């Protein structure tokens, strides 16, 4: 199969990088507003619809900045970077803190979804750029991020690729939600079955209740000089 050669650019040639910040915690008027304020703990999925904390409109420009939907957010500082480099796309107007960088395409020739998917696909290589800032905190140098090579297919092809991957993400998100529902149902069923509140068909005799020491006996044994406590059925 013949490989198509797309032109390759440094990320910094394709996007403008913006820094965030934290409004003063001492000013209650800056917090608990309507504007989502994203930090590393919010970058758990590709599409970012909301955040744990929110700031007010008054806080914008006073310690933090706001970006529009379709802006790419990348975590550049935090312990999470020692495992992965979280990348997300804003699906709402939102602010962000100093541990996050915003990437805004320089023009309409780049689909932000394509860039985000590419960075996620290259996560292991991007993570190799991470250094240690101290106390186990990872740091992704801005210069290294901006110099990272990114292919630039035709816009129509970028969109097609992003559409296909988004379809898979949507399906996986729905599957994950279904699994969580089934896990909750299983937990509820376990609580009912294992406590006798719900009986299986054909079983009506009352349960006998015994203490653990009536069912098990304790056995002490030593492994390499360390005592190990074991419960054995009688």
Instruction: State the pairing for strand pair 137-139/94-96.
Output: unpaired
Is residue 201 pLDDT above 60, yes or no? yes
Is residue 103 pLDDT above 60, yes or no? yes
Is residue 227 pLDDT above 80, yes or no? no
Is residue 116 pLDDT above 80, yes or no? yes
What is the pLDDT, as a whole number, of residue 197? Answer: 86
- 43 band by pLDDT with thresholds 50, 70 and 90: very high
Residue pair 72/115 in contact by the 8 Å Cβ criterion: yes
What is the pLDDT, as a whole number, of residue 221? Answer: 66
Residue pair 67/21 in contact by the 8 Å Cβ criterion: no
Average pLDDT (187-191) is: 92
pLDDT-above-70 percentage for the chain: 92
What is the pLDDT, as a whole number, of residue 226? Answer: 64
Is residue 231 pLDDT above 70, yes or no? no
Is residue 2 pLDDT above 60, yes or no? no
Distance CA 100, CA 91 (A): 16
How is the chain split among helix, strand and coil, in percent rounded to 5?
35, 30, 35
Distance CA 34, CA 60 (A): 11
- 199 band by pLDDT with thresholds 50, 70 and 90: confident
Could you tell me the pTM of the whole model? Answer: 0.77
pLDDT in tens, 134-181: 788 999 999 999 999 999 999 999 999 999 999 998 888 888 888 999
Burial class (CB in 10 A: 0-12, 13-18, 19+), 47: middle
What is the pLDDT, as a whole number, of residue 222? Answer: 60
Fold of 8-161: Adenine-n6-DNA-methyltransferase TaqI; Chain A, domain 2 (3.90.220)
pLDDT-above-90 percentage for the chain: 72
Question: Would you list the domain boundaries of the chain?
Answer: 8-161
């Amino acid at each position: 199969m013949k490989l198509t050669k797309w032109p390759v650019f440094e990320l910094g040639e394709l996007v403008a990088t913006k820094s965030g910040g934290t409004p003063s915690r001492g000013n209650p008027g800056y917090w608990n507003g309507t504007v989502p304020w994203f930090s590393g703990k919010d970058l758990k999925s590709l599409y970012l619809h909301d955040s744990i904390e929110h700031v007010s409109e008054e806080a914008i420009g006073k310690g933090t900045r706001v970006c529009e939907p379709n802006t790419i957010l990348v975590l550049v500082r935090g312990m999470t970077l020692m495992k992965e480099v979280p990348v997300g796309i804003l699906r709402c107007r939102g602010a962000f803190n100093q541990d996050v960088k915003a990437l805004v395409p320089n023009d309409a020739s780049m689909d932000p979804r394509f860039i985000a998917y590419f960075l996620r696909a290259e996560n292991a290589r991007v993570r190799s750029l991470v250094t240690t800032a101290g106390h186990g905190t990872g740091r992704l140098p801005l210069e290294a991020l901006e110099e990272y090579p990114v292919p630039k297919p035709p816009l129509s092809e970028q969109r097609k690729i992003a559409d296909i991957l988004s379809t898979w993400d949507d399906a996986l998100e729905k599957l994950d939600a279904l699994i969580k529902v089934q896990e909750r149902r299983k937990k509820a069923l376990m609580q009912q079955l294992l406590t006798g509140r719900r009986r299986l068909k054909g079983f009506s005799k009352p349960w006998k209740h015994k203490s653990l020491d009536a069912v098990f006996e304790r056995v002490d044994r030593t492994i390499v000089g360390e005592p190990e406590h074991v419960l054995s059925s009688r």
